Structure 1
Amino acid sequence: MFDLTLDLVMLLMLAAFAAGFVDAIAGGGGLITLPVLMLAGVPPAQALATNKVQGVFGAGTAAISYAARGLVDLRSQWRSALVAGAAGAGGALLVSAVPTEGLRLILPVILIGIALFFALKPGLDDLDRTRRLTPLVFALTVVPFIGFYDGLMGPGAGAFYMIGFVTLAGYGVLKATAHTKLLNFASNLGGLGAFALVGQPLWMLGVAMGAAQIAGAWLGARLASRVGARLIKPLLVVTSTLLAARLIWQML
């Protein structure tokens, strides 16, 4: 039986604050909160659902913070957000029906590839570059694919959005981060709606952690907006590498 004490709630909120800070800059906040929830004794299905509850607060705060600084136009991105939300809900609803073992095997390789891309590719800065896909095509192809994955599994979704925005949409690193947080929020919200039906999230704990996520995400987005790619790139490399290492450790 899961025993929720005040000390445990405070530790989980501290983890959520750190996750909100990291996630607002480079993604990967779930690398902190999901293992901590499970170590605290929350059953896996409830941990996944509760993680979605608190993650929505952090991603939403980061998205609003970036939008307030003019880094993302919510009016032009609401369609992509709707697609991401619907895809996230679809992925969460099919979590027990879709085989994911093959994806789990190749996911660490993909994440390490993303880390190497941001670590080694020259010229990655906050300046926009050549766009390879129109916004409509990007919204109809890349967004639903990653949104579905976010609802189905989740780890690395922020990094996948980032690489899509940088390589295909032609965004600079800071602008890509801002748009990533908006779509992360949408796919998390869609996934939460589905998990709420089947996962029985711990709502009070999720909201408490969400409050800490808000503070961490606000601080992280504020710092990233000031420093830009010089902060985002190394942190993205670190979080992608750590997430890959954790997935490999789980398989072994």
Structure 2
Amino acid sequence: MPRPEASAFVKTSMTAPDGYFAWEATGLRWLAAVTDGARVAPVLGVEPNRLLLERVSHAAPSRTAAEAFGRDLARTHAAGAPAYGVGPDGWEGHGWLGPATDLLPLLLGSYDRWGEMYAELRLLPIATEGERRGALTGEDVRDVERLAQRLRDDDGDLDTGEPPARLHGDLWSGNLLWSPDGVVLVDPAAHAGHRETDLAMLQMFGSPQLATVLAAYDEAAPLADGWRSRVALHQTYPLLLHAAVFGGTYVGQAMDAVRRYL
């Protein structure tokens, strides 16, 4: 957990893999490079075992801040990236995603189509990991493989064909800090993907002023027809990750989401 130190938050971990804090810092800087995009906590310094971030004052979530955040997030996404699956500028190798005590690799690559990237870099690897840990059965894995094949072969039903978006990559409500100056983002797993993925993650556990954020986003950058029907599709990967790490009810939720699109 971050702890206060002078004007900074110092984030430390004894279990984080080598390079993790550099990965997070690179992602924050990549997101911050977008003019008029979503605000992120400024990086003050990064060391092998800790990350220093500018302290963020807290405020109650407001409709005004939510509207501004929706518009700003649309601009961050629109900044784009060269291809689906690539990491932040200046980053080499794969990244990480998951709880601090059990971070899993976030595979990176370069794909022309989102559906193919989502199948190859997200669904298939996490299904394999889930089976290895005993959370998923062989039948579960086969259903994930069926969805992966559908995504590879998709003719536009699941993949809207939009250009790659610059994603936060772990946009659940705990990574949104509500400050007097608006929403500030922390703890990214930044990479290039589909913009609906960030929005689906925001909806997975709920968030203050969520309806206002989504409405402002859609007004600033209208979403493709049927986007609400694809929310669960974009949640399949984080749900499968939660299933692999935590087991329990996440397994059923993940597989319900997978089978919805078979």
Task: Report which of the two has the higher share of helix.
Answer: 1
Q: When the two structures are superposed, what TM-score results if normalisation uses the length of structure 2? A: 0.27
Task: Report which of the two has the higher share of strand.
Answer: 2
